[in-house]
Amino acid sequence: MFVADAMLKKLARWLRLLGVEVLYPPSIDDDDIIEFTKKSNKILLTMDSELCRRARKQGRSVFLVPRKSTDEQLALLIKRFKLDVSDAPSRVLCPLCNGTLKEVGKKEVKGKVPAELLQKHDVFWKCSGCKKVFWEGSHWERINRKVERIKEMTR
């Protein structure tokens, strides 16, 4: 759905945690990202007003993200594009690469995570893209609180 420019890494990661597909090519110049949005038929997210102007001039779909807190930016995008985040965080995308996360057993992650995590957790997820393994660590509650806060802001 979206392509985020280099200034929006944090926003891109949080959108993925909400289950929203967003590509984030970190080292791409303005001309290339405009061309990429043309080929991929995705909406460009940027805080760069000049990039926004140039993209619009070329007929690209672009949204100028205001310089606000990440929470406010997320709430604005959810409202503006009517994004369905009702299932978040159950349909999380990989915050690193946008890949899908698949639930896997302890057997599959043995040797890929510290042994104490295998004893502490029963559920793990593996990214289909970057192969990173995730689990409900200490950060999980913070993520859930933020997701609920964002949902509340959009009601």
Q: What is the number of other CB atoms lying within 10 angstroms of the CB of residue 87?
A: 10
Establish whether the linkage from the previous residue to 95 is cis, with ω within 30° of 0: no
* Residue 141 confidence (pLDDT): 84
Q: Whole-number mean pLDDT of the chain?
A: 91
Higher pLDDT, 127 or 91: 127
Give me the domains of the chain, ranges plus CATH numbers: 2-80 (3.40.50.1980)
**Residue range 58-98, pLDDT digits in tens:** 999 999 999 999 999 999 999 999 998 877 656 788 999 99
Nearest to 147 by CA among 100, 97, 92: 92
For Cα atoms 20, 55, 17, give the angle at the middle one, nearest 5 degrees. 15
pTM above 0.75, yes or no: yes
